[in-house]
Structure 1
């Protein structure tokens, strides 16, 4: 198996493919002015196996298009939606977030938890804006510095992993420069990282390595994940996911 196939296999049965929680999703949703009598159109971009998609479906009157590049995750989401009798509210789309087939101003809400980094925050905001109705909302979580200055070790690590990592003020400025007005922001809690993401991940390491015969590629994946976990726990005061919620302004 290739590295990407192994990564999918490692993450596909996880509740989440990144930090987050139902509470985080609902808190972000609370910043959005929702007309309960309107049937909303929502796109969840980079949905993974859809923990947040399910939460949105349970709490919104609307139709959700759940988008991911990898069918393995979408199959998991479809099965869970069926078990929960939510299949009429969720449809899946296997597509790259850089090549979305949506119509202009098709959606009331664009959602993306921990995924926009795949194309870059600024690129995602600029490219997805056209799919959002005027006065519609975008809600994304993105790795964010919590302080202006950081220890060299963590700064070098994340600048190498994701050069667009920046402070919340810089991310909010990007939103403002691209025709959005911020309506809400918060940092994810430590529990959203450790209890909901890293602890379950660590419990999967041994089974994953055994399943793949302790191959070099499998061991490299586990080593990289262990390194990230250690760095987060050491430097959690300096970074987290920031959750950004913003409203699309009318064109000038």
Structure 2
């Protein structure tokens, strides 16, 4: 499975447009220092690098194979294998985490990252949430079986505020952000010769999105410590 994902440029839903939105809301300048926490194979590093041409971008991921791929794609950037709870190279003007904050949990992530921010630093991240009060049973069952706890967008903002942050901006990731992940993943699965169970599960995830994707989505949040 690591080999399959190491071949992809993007390891989860997201796109350049949504990241640029977050950078704009956060007011990130050309000389900023930015951390990509859970950078995967480097899907967002290029946009971050372009946004801070006079600053620094640091990528961090727990999987060495992903870090190696990201470093090959962006040889001039500092990209390290490590723990998102203890990022290197701060303090940061912004910590960005696309779909990876669940590894720590929203509350813990915001709590530990506070000490790694500049006094005016921001955190921007995306997290899977329900878009409806009555999600379909098939979607509930799938994510529960996958070990993913999904709640509402309102609950997410409450978590952010309870962690001592102010929400500066919030929006949903659009359909193109999902397609930019699932499209290449489907192509990769066509040539995948590894565990058939892995391929079956990933195809089921894609099928679920096509059928019930309107009921859930990635909620983008930009926030700052109070």
TM band (smaller chain):
over 0.9
Is the CA contact (8 Å cut-off) linking 2:60 and 2:87 kept in structure 1? no
2:65 alignment counterpart: 72
**Structure 1 residue 163, shift from structure 2 partner:** 4.6
SS in 2 for 1:49: coil
Runs (4+) of structure 1 exceeding 6 A deviation are none
Q: Of 3, 9, 12, which aligns to 1:15? A: 9
- Counterparts in 2 of 1:127 and 1:160: CA distance versus 1, 3 Å: farther
Equivalent residues in 2 for 1:174-213, closer than 5 Å: 174-194=159-179, 196-209=180-193, 212=194
Cα distance in structure 1, aligned partners of 2:190 and 2:138: 28
1:95 alignment counterpart: 82
1:107 alignment counterpart: 92
Deviations 1:110-165 (A, max 9, x none): 11001111222222222222212233100001111111221122122223434532
2:139 alignment counterpart: 154
- How many corresponding residue pairs? 225
The two structures, once aligned, show a CA RMSD in angstroms of 1.7
SS in 2 for 1:153: helix
**1:122 aligned onto 2:99:** no
Cα distance in structure 2, aligned partners of 1:205 and 1:47: 22
Cα distance in structure 2, aligned partners of 1:35 and 1:200: 32
SS in 2 for 1:25: helix
- Please report the TM-score for the alignment, with normalisation by the length of structure 1: 0.83
1:49 alignment counterpart: 41
Cα distance in structure 2, aligned partners of 1:167 and 1:62: 35
- Counterparts in 2 of 1:187 and 1:32: CA distance versus 1, 3 Å: same
Q: Of 214, 217, 225, which aligns to 1:240? A: 217
**Greater radius of gyration (CA):** 1
Structure 2 unaligned blocks of 5 or more: none
- Please report the TM-score for the alignment, with normalisation by the length of structure 2: 0.92
Cα distance in structure 1, aligned partners of 2:19 and 2:147: 23
